[in-house]
Amino acid sequence: MNILDYDTVALDDSDSALVIIDQTKLPNQLEILHLHTQKEIWDAIYLLQVRGAPAIGVAAGYGVYLAAKGIDTEDYAFFEQEFVKASDYLNSSRPTAVNLSWALKRMKDVVIAGRGGSVADAKQKLLAEAKAIQQEDIDTCRRIGELGLSLVKPGDGILTHCNAGQLATSRYGTATAPMYLGHKQGYHFKIYCDETRPLLQGARLTSYELSSAGLDVTVLCDGMAASLMKQGKIQAVFTGCDRVAANGDAANKIGTMPLAIAAKYFGIPFYICAPSSTIDMSSKTGRDIKIEQRPAEEVTEMWYKERMAPKDVKVFNPAFDVTDAELITAIITEKGILRAPYTEFIKAIFK
């Protein structure tokens, strides 16, 4: 079976476990995890066994449904109180991708709307809502693919960073959706994929899923991207994102901002692919976006048998950076292609 035949996130047949591909093991092992407890789900998100903003949102939706299912009461007020505890717990797993709190809020709204009804009914509605979040993600990614494809030509060289692919969503990916669609239509893109230090989502995941689908993929170290641009090999950059502020500033995997700066210097369009659920109107600018800091060991010890840096050396390891809106050529959402001034376009989406 191809990796793309597996759901990134699903419920098992009896709706009693969250089933994910353990992304920390790819591309060497395809290991499927069945997660039953809230702690297991929290850990899976924190440890990046399931990762990528939309996939985290879908996992949280199903995860909090499983928590709700396990609350053994017919007292709605008690049910709601326990539900909120479970939701707050999952919400604390990672801070930057807004899809996590967005999905949990959708689930909480179901519980609030169900006041006056039965707990059993609320549980059914929560399951339906979690499934809807997943289906909408599929539809959204497909639309981002269509819109993104309209911005490139057959034969183009396209650079991407991290993994905004199927493994980060429910299907197609965001940044990769135009690539998959173009591939189906015979566009013969040349995809260049940053390895994405420190956790190598580009090398381990993006190059794996795209090459499994038969696309032409080349992996490079992050610091090599500007040289590739200078050689004229890149006609567009597509990346995903974890949170877009109301002014269009966009947080994505660390190393995205330098790509945008280099793309601007070389006159290459730089596109952010973002489901509208990734836009956070409560963050006015990128300065309001909380950037996750990760453990130093990811930089110093993770990939070699021996240490990669001296013991106790100081480490700077933010998981994301923010690309200023002025460096972004367009933000591709399922609701349309947004261009500067972003504030007006973004407000129009949420009217």
Q: Give the tokens for residue 45.
A: 């998100």
Which of 210/241 has CB closer to ligand MRU?
A: 241
Both tokens of 172, joined, read 């197609």
Find out whether 99 is annotated in a ligand binding site. no
Binding site for ligand MRU (CB under 6 A): 48, 51-54, 97, 162, 164, 168-169, 173-174, 201, 239-242, 252-253, 319
Closest residue to ligand MRU: CB criterion? 240
Decide if 7 is catalytic: no
Of the listed 137, 242, 249, 280, which one is catalytic?
A: 242
Question: Considering the complex, what minimum distance in angstroms separates the CB of residue 124 from ligand MRU?
Answer: 29
Contacts of 297 (CB under 8 A, 6+ apart): none
We find the least distance from the C-beta atom of residue 58 to ligand MRU, in angstroms, to be 11
Name the residue nearer to ligand MRU (CB basis): 106 or 123.
106
State how far the Cα of 296 lies from the Cα of 128, in Å rounded to an integer.
40
Q: Closest approach of Cβ 156 to ligand MRU, in Å?
A: 20
Q: Is 253 annotated as a binding residue?
A: yes
How many C-beta atoms surround the C-beta of residue 302 within 10 A? Answer: 13
Distance of alpha carbon 67 from alpha carbon 88, whole angstroms: 12
With respect to ligand MRU, which residue has the nearer C-beta, 122 or 322? 322
Q: Is 201 labelled a binding residue?
A: yes
In sequence order, the 6+-apart residues with CB closer than 8 A to the CB of 141 are 54, 169, 170, 171, 172, 173, 174, 177, 275, 334
Q: 263 by DSSP, 3-state: which?
A: helix
Cβ closer to ligand MRU: 80 or 194?
194
Residue 53 labeled ligand binder = yes
How would you write 280-348 as a 3-class SS string?
ECCCCCHHHCCCCECCCHHHHCCCCCCCCCCCCCCCCCECEEEECHHHCCEEEECCEEECCCHHHHHHH
Distance CA(119)–CA(239), nearest Å, equals: 41
Is 94 marked as binding a ligand?
A: yes
Quote the least distance from Cβ 155 to ligand MRU, whole Å. 25
| Residues in binding site | 51-53, 94, 201, 252-253
| Residues in binding site for substrate | 51-53, 94, 201, 252-253
Query: Known catalytic residues?
Result: 242
